[in-house]
Amino acid sequence: MNQTPVVRAVRADEWARAKEFRLDALRDPAAPVAFLDTYEDAVQRPDSFWRERTEGSARGASARQFVAGLADGGWAGSVVVLVERRGATDVLGGRSDHDQAHIVGVYLRPEHRGAGLLKELFDAAVAWAWSLEEPRAERVRLFVDERNGRARAAYRKLGFEPTGETLPVRNDPAAREFELAVPRPGV
């Protein structure tokens, strides 16, 4: 059976797969420095949460989830893109200075890392961000924990550069998260 991942937008009816995948991601050894969520919190959420979240990421104009689907129905990886409007509260509770897209929830299963799949997922996510007419994203950004050197290097390889913006890590104020961004082409 062909297990070459195919990158596509999540479908609204895949909420159970999305839940299972997220819980797997939160059990990864890197999860404490990769996600602002915990397995213990996520596993307690009702199915209605996962249905609404997946439906919003499949059809919404303010969020889109891209998955790397396998022929057997499993997922090899996923990224989520959230739209942030200038002047509004952003994903992290601050005020957005830009019309922008914010990449979150990045996860590749270990057996699919290092094969170019992250680039395919990011290409789809960034292309979707640039395709939006309202708001017209000025840039795509993400935050990465300073202790997650592997992820930081991968994002830099994909063209995301440090902006100089940092934030304290929510559960560890002594640690920092670095903002990385890529500007809209031609801006």
- pLDDT tens digits for range 81-109: 999 999 999 888 889 999 999 999 999 99
Contact 98, 91 (CB under 8 A): no
pLDDT at 187: 67
Euclidean distance between CA atoms 90 and 92, whole angstroms: 5
Work out the average pLDDT over 26-48.
92
**Residues above pLDDT 70, as percent of the chain:** 98
Least confident of 17-26, 33-42, 99-108: 33-42
DSSP one-letter code for 33: H
Work out the average pLDDT over 37-62.
94
* pTM of the full structure: 0.93
Euclidean distance between CA atoms 66 and 2, whole angstroms: 20
pLDDT at 59: 86
Work out the average pLDDT over 134-145.
95
pLDDT at 1: 44
Euclidean distance between CA atoms 68 and 42, whole angstroms: 22
Higher-pLDDT residue of 26, 2: 26
Is 2's pLDDT higher than 60? no
Q: Taking all residues of the chain, what is their mean pLDDT, rounded to a whole number?
A: 93
**Residues above pLDDT 90, as percent of the chain:** 82
88, two tokens: 């509004």
Contact 43, 19 (CB under 8 A): no
Provide the b/e sequence for 27-56 (b: ≥16 CB within 10 Å): eeeeeebbbeeebeebeeeeeeebbebbbb
